[in-house]
Amino acid sequence: MSNFYQVLTILVAAVIVVWLFRRWQLPAILAYLVAGTLIGEHGLNITGDEADYEHIAELGIVFLLFTLGLEFSLPKLLAMRKLVTGIGCNQVGLTLMIVIVLAMLFGISLPTAFVIGGIVALSSTAIVIRQLSESGSIKRRSGQISVAVLLCQDIAVVPFLILIPLLGEGLDWGMLSALILALVKGSFVVAVLLFTGRWLLPRIFNVVAQVRTDELFVLTTILVTLLAAALTQFFGLSMALGAFLAGMMLGESQYKYQLEADIRPFRDILLGLFFITVGMKLDWQALLQSPGSIALVLLLTLLIKISVIRWLGVRAGESAKDSWAAGFMLAQMGEFSFVLIALAANNGLFDSQLTSVLLGAGILSMAVTPFMINRARSWAVKLTLENNKSAVDEDVIEQPQQALSNHVVICGFGRVGQTVSRFLKQENIDFIAIDIDPVRVNEAREAGENVLFGSARQAEVLRAANISEAKLVVVSYGAPEQSFDVVQKVRSLSEHVQILVRTRNDDALTKLQQAGANEVVPESLEGSLMLVSQVLNLSGVPFSRIVRQIQAERKNHYNRLHGFYPGVDTDMSAGAIERLEFVHATLLNDDAFAAGQTIEALNLKDKRVEILAIRRQGQEIAHPSAQQKLMAQDTLVLQGKPRRVERVERFLQKGE
């Protein structure tokens, strides 16, 4: 089978299996693993050698570590240091030691036992965080404990990535010098990346962002990630380590959320390919030959991690109930466990039998994770014998404070967005703005404005603005196409938030409302209304009457502001004619087809043209009724798009 058809087979299998798993509300990672086992060499064997794809799939891990680096925040780490160090780091170390001892009792060598300990110590950041967010448990104390432990586990991945290739070279005295050399080289590379990254990367992205080209920004992000990965690989270290450091350098920059949004599609696709290649290594025959081994590894993994996290949680001063719940949430193996399994297998630390057993246990542990997270609270209450209502209610204590809540999100911080923000400030209403112009963002942030750099069309950027807790979104761009995309994205993330859109005119008013906008404010027509209100006010019309007329016009979609009489300087290009509505006067001849007929009989509504007025013998009949009969020599004032008005004029005269 040619490479093209092999890739096509992988895509077909991935799409079908992921679709099925998502229908069953199972994680996509499991779907990729199962797809790999089905089409791999131990399954249908229709993809050839998985090594052909591993080089590309490895980039998925590179991009995953880059986004992890973006999330790595030293201030955040310091704020959670009690949980991170007291529970997270101790959990990794204690689990590692327990597994090493147990593995060596089963006759496994120390290097292999060490890697198995690292595999078991890690949990699934992707599955746990997503499940906690969907269930709302991330706001509970048990959810906060879980996040702290996951943060420490993610950091612990980096030394494992360095050590596993060294362990594969054999455990001897030379390994100590190799380890020392690796630490020296690692320290040097980290220092180089930290120095150049902090000084160089922000300046590079400043220059790129000023070009205002999305493709260039994405390409630069990919290039920086791969360059950092290549640098660490050149010094004999993991590519993922370089990507992690590059992400960390940009994690505190204003481009953080846009970088994460740009890299996510590449990361998800390549990471999916990586897990497919991992699944290709799963030997079904080995699984069938050793179901007891898989069940034992699975059971020990769950028991060890639940017990360790529960004990460390209570020891750190957390309640037994929250500690039990966090243990159930983090009992599974993680996506990085599969990374370490693949790395250990490639370095000769695992044989095919051990690889398959660990993969099988890992897949099963991740499969039961949603079930365990959904029931973690109830199980924890039963285990602590706290069956009364007050004990359950205590589980919601210490909800994390969101940066913003019940606030206004301003999409676009240009002239209009800044004007809106000033009035919000005067009323002490919290807001956050999103803008893609780096110069404007820099200036605004220097002045203390709460502004995010990024595109409001990206879900990650909107989530960073805490869109789910916002009460109002103001879309101030003016360009209907851009506003339409933003409205759709906002509405997909939040069904309840109010969306107010500013446009230059009302060409896309209906389209924006159908996309989910609650209010659309056409700037040019609103300007006309303000002018009209001033004219009427200075002409002596009572203010209450002016307000009623303005409100009625808005409710009527600015209907009386649409048509106008064209002149010499009117733009008559094809595009303009399609957008505008003209007002045109036509005289009915003595033999006109419409003479003697009522407006209703002519059925002009279907032709989408309206008769605004009738001039008859020097008198005007404004807004004639449907029963009004037309007469020869009447002058009809028609409103509609130019081509429609032309057709209706011919129809009125000749009936065709």
DSSP-assigned states of every residue in 316-337:
TT--HHHHHHHHHHT-S--HHH
Reduce the DSSP state of residue 557 to 3 states and report it. coil
Domain end marker among 383, 398, 426: 383
In a domain, 529, yes or no: no
**Do the beta carbons of residue 122 and residue 336 sit within 8 Å?**
yes
| Helix 28-39 / helix 256-280 crossing angle, nearest 10 deg | 30
In a domain, 241, yes or no: yes
In a domain, 390, yes or no: no
- Phi/psi for 637 (5° steps) reads -95, 110
Q: In terms of DSSP H, where are the helices of 368-505?
A: 369-383, 389-393, 415-426, 438-446, 459-464, 480-493
> How many other CB atoms are found less than 10 A from the CB of residue 199?
10
| Per-residue confidence (pLDDT) for residue 309, from 0 to 100 | 93
Domain end marker among 343, 366, 383: 383
Same domain, yes or no: 136 and 217: yes
Same domain, yes or no: 29 and 168: yes
What CATH number corresponds to the domain at position 584?
A: 3.30.70.1450
Specify the DSSP element, H or E, that contains 636.
strand 635-640
Same domain, yes or no: 471 and 605: no
Residue with tokens 């000084």: 199
Same domain, yes or no: 170 and 232: yes
CA nearest neighbour of 403 among 119, 57, 75, 643: 75
| Per-residue confidence (pLDDT) for residue 30, from 0 to 100 | 75
Terminal Cα-to-Cα distance of the chain (whole angstroms): 65
In a domain, 76, yes or no: yes
**Do the beta carbons of residue 113 and residue 352 sit within 8 Å?**
no
What CATH number corresponds to the domain at position 412?
A: 3.40.50.720
**Do the beta carbons of residue 639 and residue 583 sit within 8 Å?**
yes
- Which whole-number Å values give the CA distances from 7 to 4, 19, 211, 470, 477, in the listed order? 5, 18, 36, 43, 41
Amino acid at 547: V
Q: Could you say which residues of the chain have pLDDT below 50?
A: 387-402, 563-565, 567-572, 574-577
Q: Dihedral of the CA atoms 591, 593, 598, 602 (nearest 10)?
A: -170
Same domain, yes or no: 199 and 61: yes
Q: Dihedral of the CA atoms 115, 120, 122, 128 (nearest 10)?
A: 150
Reduce the DSSP state of residue 348 to 3 states and report it. coil
Cα–Cα distance between 594 and 601 in angstroms, integer?
9
Cα–Cα distance between 594 and 29 in angstroms, integer?
70
Same domain, yes or no: 489 and 354: no
Domain end marker among 474, 500, 517: 517
Reduce the DSSP state of residue 129 to 3 states and report it. helix
| Per-residue confidence (pLDDT) for residue 119, from 0 to 100 | 92
In a domain, 397, yes or no: no
pTM above threshold 0.75: no
Reduce the DSSP state of residue 631 to 3 states and report it. coil
Cα–Cα distance between 340 and 111 in angstroms, integer?
13
Same domain, yes or no: 218 and 94: yes
- Phi/psi for 378 (5° steps) reads -65, -40
Amino acid at 298: L
Specify the DSSP element, H or E, that contains 586.
strand 581-587
What CATH number corresponds to the domain at position 172?
A: 1.20.1530.20
Indicate the number of domains in the chain: 3
Same domain, yes or no: 367 and 458: no
Same domain, yes or no: 176 and 104: yes
Tokens for 357, please give them: 């057993």
Same domain, yes or no: 250 and 290: yes
In a domain, 641, yes or no: yes
| Per-residue confidence (pLDDT) for residue 230, from 0 to 100 | 84
Amino acid at 334: G
In a domain, 352, yes or no: yes
| Per-residue confidence (pLDDT) for residue 393, from 0 to 100 | 40
Same domain, yes or no: 256 and 327: yes
Same domain, yes or no: 179 and 243: yes
**Do the beta carbons of residue 372 and residue 127 sit within 8 Å?**
no
Specify the DSSP element, H or E, that contains 452.
strand 451-453
Cα–Cα distance between 247 and 228 in angstroms, integer?
9
| Segments forming the whole domain that contains residue 603 | 574-654
**Do the beta carbons of residue 370 and residue 131 sit within 8 Å?**
yes
In a domain, 554, yes or no: no
